[in-house]
Chain A
Amino acid sequence: MSQTYGNPVAAPHTTTTNSPARIMSLVMLALAPATLYGFWLYGWPAVYLWLITVGAAMLGEAFSLRLQNRPARPVLLDGSAALTGWLLAVSLPPWAPWWIGVFAGLFATMLGKQAFGGLGQNLFNPAMVARVAVLISFPVQMTAWVAPLPMFSLGAPGPLEGLLIMLRGVPPAFDAVTSATMLGYAKTELSRGIDLFESGLHAPALSFIGNRPGSLGETAAWLIAAGGVAMIGLRLITWHIPLAMLAGIAIPAAILHAVDPARYLDMGTHLLSGGALLGAFFIATDYVTSPNAPRGQLIFGFGCGVFTYIIRTWAGYPEGVAFAVLLMNSMTPIIDTYFKPRIYGRDRKGKPLQTTN
């Protein structure tokens, strides 16, 4: 009387409790403090924009799956679409109109991700693809930043007023608070021939508490960094990409600022401005679109940093993290091909080691 026990599958017969859903949830958890701080800083319009962007990203994913006759629910539950939407939302101007969020969210998951075949298949970071798409398509709305107007403070929009701001645009009463980001302001002034000493931009002190115009993921620089360090501690990511990317920004910034402080912003401003920290810890470290081996990750991260610096300093846009990450994303397959880990018993080129005995 022989009884049958299960199917003949290959070992191992035990597995980790880790899952993509757990990874995505932890990343979102790491991103939450900075986002909540941003909500407080920029008030209700930012909350609504975040909701709408995340919702649109998930909707785009669900719709694409429906087109493929695949059940949407289990895929949505892995959290990757929500995370894409979240990363996208924190890179947008906090008071951007609702349709920017909708357009960018749908673009991210439908064209940035599902068009390539879904999770794990996309060549480019979906959130950055969408951000670049809206930046190029709607430059006016995408460069209209507001100075922080903390929730519940005097003159800050209430829940209903915030909703109206997002739906109808910023009313004239708030026009005074719109301004450029630090990087944008410096670039405009420099292009007008006013150097950094005159424009008075050599103190990144305010960045420490985020009291300046910018996106949700930009202003709370230290909370972003803390979330990133927590992810390294949880072994979700390694230190290679973040450190290399920050070095890629910091090294040229330090050198050029030392050479000509009137023309080039200092290192601290560069690191705490724009998407530098968000990019280093949350965007460039995206598993799907970054190299796998440590050496490749160092090259990838450094490339992201250097391109960011080049675009910020000499190109037409004041901020360059999204472009830099996309550029390096396209290099990932090449980096992965040429910078593999050394195999046990072989040298770096893959030749067997010489016997020493």
Chain B
Amino acid sequence: MGFLDRFLNTPSWGVHPEDHKRPAADVPLRLFPSPGRVFMPLHQHVGGAARPIVLVGQKVLKGQLIAEAQGNISAPIHAPVSGTVSAVGDVTAPHPSGLPFKAITIDSDGADRWLEAEPLADPFAAAPEEIARRAALAGVVGLGGATFPSAVKFALGKRLKVSTLIVNGGECEPYLSSDDRVMRDFPDMVVDGARLIMHSIGASEALVGIEDNKPEAIAAMRQAAVPYPEVKIRPVPARYPMGSDKQLIQTLTGKEVPSDARAAEVGVLVHNVSTCAAVHKAIRLAQPLVERIVTLNGGAIATPGNVYAPLGTMISELLAFVGLKEAPSRLILGGPMMGTPLLHDRIPIVKGASGILAFNAAEAFVPDAGPCIRCGSCTKACPMGLLPLEMAARIRVGDLEGAEAYALGDCISCGCCAYVCPSHIPLVQYFSHAKGELTAAERTKLRTDATKRLAEAKSARIERENREKAEAAAKRKAEREAAKATAAPPSPVVEKTEGASA
């Protein structure tokens, strides 16, 4: 690839942070020994929390359903180890609030005995809906971090007649290499999973976008895709946020997703490579999603690398497994650009946990924020074409509607703007704050509107009832009057009638 080629193919948006992926990405995958106890939060996906169906003291096998999906958008939870349910109650959620969350605690018996289940014999002969149904039952959610229930997306893709499946192997976040490892170690699973998803949604081709900083993964995937011409491996320039749906779609297909539409409406559906592997396991091996690859990286870790671990494993146990050189100055769930800071390590890993970063003091250092010098770096970096500096200036003075007019709602919180800001202004913090406030205001407005509507309906009903009562009374009165009128005049007919009836 020549210089000019590189120059022309590099998108104008985004940033190019130092990726820090190696040496962790090159260390062979390590298997985490079965933990003594796992904690499975009931809410580790987008949508409704799962409902526990096990009791304390109950024996469970690995892969056994322990909490079922609740509502249209939800995902079930399965036991990641075999053992005994020891509690159904609160543990700390992987969220900066550190608030407790409902979870099922299982004490492992160390045997890792799988629940026997029958895989689908010939999935490509089965109805597409069967793939979606099985993926839903296996608790497969988007493993790139969004954790949206995959089967819901399959159904959407099928309904909107999506022709192209995009397999996201971008993994543009620095430090992370779990997707890289999946593609290097299990390329056949990824390719088969992609083909199963294609069958499920009725797509005719799959484009696998892999950033060109992962040549080993590209080679492994090309090898695995040789028998299947419909699965096309497409290296893309390494540029953050290439792994974001909208940017990857644009890079691979040239299509832009309208701001008020979903990707499926322009004929594409995006699934992560790890999700593809999970679909493969769910369909071919009848194994639900109970394990995943987690990257453990950062300056405070003694032997950084990727670990294959059961979900629900405490982060402290994973850190002990790879060893700490020093007490981390910052602990992050996910990547450094969009990850969630963790206040402590007594937190279990969940389906969306692609990495745990333990930063040393030098990596964690972020200088104090200075004044905006309007340099426009944020504008140039924004992959959505927004004006972060204008939005932040308005949010700063409390003009949230003003920020909304600058399309705050289109912000994908990728963090490019805050990353490039020479004054180190925490722009994403501003935007998250404003989005939260606006959502709260919207909710309050909906609630007030609903209250108002109910109150109006009530007064209308009372009015109607009163009117009906009055009308009924008037009618009765009129009838009485009429009856009286017919009765009152001493007409001979009436007399006669009365006389007749008497």
Could you tell me which A residues sit within 8 Å of B by CB distance?
2-16, 18-20, 22-23, 78, 80, 118-121, 287-288, 292-293, 336, 340-346, 350, 352-357
Contacts and interface: CB of A to CB of B under 8 A. Distances in A.
B17 A353 contact: no
* Max chain A C-beta neighbours (<10 A), residue from B250, B346, B376: B376
A19 B423 CA distance: 6
Contacts of B429: 9-10
B389 A292 contact: yes
Contacts of B367: 15, 19
10 contacts: A2-B345, A5-B345, A15-B419, A18-B422, A120-B373, A287-B374, A341-B387, A345-B246, A352-B258, A352-B261
A13 B421 CA distance: 13
B260 A20 contact: no
A53 B374 CA distance: 25
B390 A22 contact: no
A355 B423 CA distance: 39
A74 to B, nearest CB: 9
Contacts of A2: 344-346
B336 A13 contact: yes
Interface stretch (B115-123, B223-231, B377-385): B377-385
B48 interface: no
B425 to A, nearest CB: 10
B168 to A, nearest CB: 17
Given A11-B337, A16-B420, A120-B371, 13 more contacts: A2-B345, A4-B344, A5-B328, A8-B343, A10-B432, A13-B366, A15-B424, A20-B423, A287-B375, A293-B379, A341-B386, A342-B385, A343-B407
B379 A14 contact: no
B418 interface: yes
A78 to B, nearest CB: 7
Contacts of A78: 370
Contact of B258 (A10, A119, A342, A345): A345
Interface of A is mostly: loop
B359 A13 contact: yes
Nearest to A119: B371
Contact of B387 (A12, A121, A293): A293
Contacts of B17: 14
Given A352-B258, A357-B267, A10 B387 contact: no
Interface in B331-376: 331-332, 334, 336-346, 357, 359, 363-364, 366-367, 370-376
A240 to B, nearest CB: 11
Contacts of A292: 374, 376, 379, 387, 389-390
Contacts of B343: 4-6, 8
Given A20-B373, A343-B410, A355-B266, A5 B174 contact: no
A10 to B, nearest CB: 4
Nearest to B432: A10
A165 B351 CA distance: 77
Contact of A288 (B328, B337, B373): B373
Nearest to A341: B385
Contacts of B419: 12, 14-16
3 A-B pairs closest in CB distance? A8-B96, A345-B259, A12-B415
A14 B336 contact: yes
Contacts of A118: 371
Given A5-B344, A10-B426, A23-B422, A15 B366 contact: yes
A8 B432 CA distance: 13
A353 B332 contact: no
Contacts of B246: 344-345
A81 B338 CA distance: 36
Contacts of B442: none
Contacts of B439: none
B265 interface: yes
Given A12-B336, A293-B387, A343 B259 contact: yes
A3 B422 contact: no
A288 B374 contact: yes
A121 B397 CA distance: 14
B330 A22 contact: no
B169 to A, nearest CB: 22
A344 B422 contact: no
Nearest to B410: A343
Nearest to B342: A5
Interface string B191-230: 0000000000000000000000000000000000000000
B391 to A, nearest CB: 11
Nearest to A10: B429
Contact of A344 (B341, B379, B384, B415): B384
Nearest to B266: A357
B98 to A, nearest CB: 8
Contact of B371 (A10, A16, A23, A121): A121
Given A16-B420, A353-B256, A120 B372 contact: yes
B385 A11 contact: no
Contacts of B337: 11-14
Given A13-B366, A15-B424, A3 B345 contact: yes
B450 interface: no
A350 B385 CA distance: 11
Given A10-B432, A120-B374, A343 B384 contact: yes
Given A10-B426, A352-B258, A343 B265 contact: no
A67 B305 CA distance: 54
Contact of A340 (B257, B260, B376, B387): B387
B415 to A, nearest CB: 4
A19 B342 CA distance: 28
Interface in B381-417: 383-387, 389-390, 406-407, 410, 413, 415
A16 B422 contact: yes
Nearest to B95: A8
